[in-house]
Amino acid sequence: MSLRRRKRNRTYVEAHNRTYSIFVKSSRIIIWAGAFNVIGLMVSVIQSSLGQAPIYYFSSNTIFWSKLGTSTTSQFGLCYAICSMIFRFFETASIDFNKFGEGVLNTTSLLILELVVAILFSALSVALSVFASQGRKYCLYGQTIFYLLDTLTIIILYFLGEPFEIIWLLIGVHAIILFFVILSIISYYQLFAIERAHKNGYNQTASNITNESIESVNNNGNDKK
């Protein structure tokens, strides 16, 4: 006699509710990415202003290395890669402008610009995520494409000279978020598969009942004859 426990098959309601729960949670994961985008920027600014941020070194002979003086204390590893790239170019623009004595981008205006960009990108990701969790397919695909493009931007950042420590953190965060974004698409189509299986099973059962009823009527008629 086998002591192995037999696996109980889930009912339609159980399977549907479990898959739906996975879909909603995974499709909303990019909300966290949007939150990290703003939080990461603010943490970086606070650390740099307090002088508590570690020094990161740009890759030698790259745009950031030549423009920003080989090193930085700004850590944008929790932000979107696209935002990180924009922030770096804001920094290089600030230096270039200040070299000419115009002072167009001082510390305050630089922070305001970075914060505006971070909020805009975060608002976009939150909007896509909320509508995607409601089952809107275009938003579901939209947030996936958006985050895939952001992940590919890490390669551009690498060649521009972004510090390796920040690159690895970007890769780690993006890998986790991408896993859940892809999981949301898989669970989305699983819901349809569960629905189809349930409808087919219901129709088959109804067909069997109808056939049995017809056979019963025919048998009764034959008995009376």
Encode 114-175 in three state secondary structure: HHHHHHHHHHHHHHHHHHHHCCCHHHHHHHHHHHHHHHHHHHHHHHHCCCHHHHHHHHHHHH
Q: What is the pLDDT of residue 222?
A: 53
Q: Which of 93, 133, 135 is nearest to 110 (CA)?
A: 93
- Does 218 map to a domain? no
At 74, is the secondary structure helix, strand, or coil? coil
Question: Residue 97 falls within a domain, yes or no?
Answer: yes
Q: Is residue 211 part of a domain?
A: no
Domain that holds residue 171: 22-196
Helix and strand numbers, DSSP H then E, in the chain? 7, 2
Residue 56: partners with Cβ closer than 8 Å, 6 or more residues away: 71, 72, 73, 75, 163, 165, 166
Question: Is residue 66, in this structure, part of any structural domain at all?
Answer: yes
Q: How far is CA 55 from the centre of its chain?
A: 29
Give domain status of residue 127, yes or no. yes
Number of domains in the chain: 1
**CA pair distance 187, 16, nearest whole angstrom:** 10
C-alpha distance from residue 58 to each of 69, 154, 166 (Å): 9, 14, 10
- The answer to whether the beta carbons of residues 67 and 92 sit under 8 Å apart is yes
Q: Would you give per-residue pLDDT tens digits along the chain (225 residues)?
A: 455 566 666 677 777 788 888 888 888 888 889 999 999 999 888 887 777 778 999 999 999 999 888 989 889 999 999 999 999 998 888 765 555 544 445 677 788 889 999 999 999 999 998 898 888 889 899 999 999 999 999 999 999 999 999 999 999 999 999 999 999 999 988 888 888 877 776 545 444 444 444 455 355 555 555
- Residue 126 covered by a domain: yes
Domain assignment present for 4: no
pTM of the model: 0.77
